[in-house]
Amino acid sequence: MHYQNERTSGCRISDAWTYRGLKTVVLENELLRVSVLADKGADIFELVHKPSDTDFMWRTPWSVRDVSKWVPSTGWGAGVWHDAYIGGWQTIAPTGGPPQQYAGAELGQHTEATLMPWDAQITEDTPERVSAKFWVRTVRTPFWIEKTVTLESGSAVLTVEDSLTNEAEEPAEAEWGQHVALGEPFLTPNCILDLPGADHFSPSQAEETGKARIRPGSTGKWPNATGADGSPVDLRRFPAKSQRLADYMVFKNLTDGWYAVTNPDRGVGIGVVWPVETFRYLWYWQVFGGGSGYPWYGRTYNVGLEPFTSLSAGVPEPGSSARTAEVFQPGETRKATVRAVVFGSTTGVESISPDGIVRTR
pLDDT, tens digit, 9 for 90 and up, residues 198-246: 999 998 665 555 689 999 999 999 999 999 999 999 999 999 999 999 9
pLDDT score at 67: 83
> How confident is the model over 147-170, as pLDDT tens digits?
999 999 999 999 999 999 999 999
CA distance 198 to 61: 33
Asked if residues 145 and 162 have their Cβ atoms less than 8 Å apart, the reply is yes
pLDDT value at 301 more than 70: yes
Asked if residues 236 and 284 have their Cβ atoms less than 8 Å apart, the reply is no
Residue 224: give its domain's CATH number: 2.70.98.10
CA distance 178 to 317: 20
Name 2's Cβ contacts closer than 8 Å, sequence gap at least 6: none
> How confident is the model over 17-26, as pLDDT tens digits?
999 999 999 9
Count, residues in the chain: 361
* pTM, full prediction: 0.96
Name 139's Cβ contacts closer than 8 Å, sequence gap at least 6: 112, 116
At 241, phi and psi to the nearest 5? -60, -30
N- to C-terminal Cα distance for the chain? 45
Q: Which of 342, 353, 348, 360 is nearest to 151 (CA)?
A: 342
CA distance 191 to 11: 30
Confirm whether 47 is domain-assigned.
yes
- Chain-wide mean pLDDT for the chain? 95
What would the mean pLDDT of 324-346 be, rounded to a whole number?
98
Confirm whether 333 is domain-assigned.
yes
Asked if residues 173 and 327 have their Cβ atoms less than 8 Å apart, the reply is yes
Q: Quick count: other Cβ atoms within 10 Å of Cβ 174?
A: 27
pLDDT score at 72: 86
Distance of CA 169 to the CA centre of its chain: 30
**168 secondary structure, DSSP code:** S
pLDDT score at 38: 98
Three-class SS state of 280? coil
Confirm whether 319 is domain-assigned.
yes
Confirm whether 20 is domain-assigned.
yes
Asked if residues 86 and 63 have their Cβ atoms less than 8 Å apart, the reply is yes
Confirm whether 3 is domain-assigned.
no
CA distance 21 to 17: 9
Confirm whether 205 is domain-assigned.
yes
pLDDT score at 305: 98
CA distance 251 to 220: 9
Asked if residues 102 and 141 have their Cβ atoms less than 8 Å apart, the reply is yes
Element (H, E) at 125: strand 119-125
Express as a percent the part of the chain with pLDDT over 90: 91
Nearest 10 degrees: CA dihedral of 232, 234, 235, 240? Answer: -100
pLDDT value at 6 more than 90: no
Asked if residues 355 and 283 have their Cβ atoms less than 8 Å apart, the reply is no
Domain that holds residue 299: 12-360
Express as a percent the part of the chain with pLDDT over 70: 98
Confirm whether 192 is domain-assigned.
yes
Q: Which of 292, 253, 271, 240 is nearest to 350 (CA)?
A: 271
Q: What angle do CA 172, 174, 178 make, to 5 degrees?
A: 160
> How confident is the model over 173-201, as pLDDT tens digits?
999 999 999 999 999 999 999 999 999 99
**Alpha-helical runs (H) found in the chain:** 77-84
What would the mean pLDDT of 319-324 be, rounded to a whole number?
95
CA distance 286 to 283: 10
pLDDT value at 100 more than 60: yes
pLDDT value at 68 more than 90: no
Confirm whether 210 is domain-assigned.
yes
Three-class SS state of 68? helix
pLDDT value at 102 more than 80: yes
Q: Which of 179, 211, 185 is nearest to 52 (CA)?
A: 185
What would the mean pLDDT of 329-349 be, rounded to a whole number?
98
What would the mean pLDDT of 33-57 be, rounded to a whole number?
98
Please state the domain count of the chain.
1
Strand-pairing partners, residue 151, are 130
pLDDT score at 1: 60
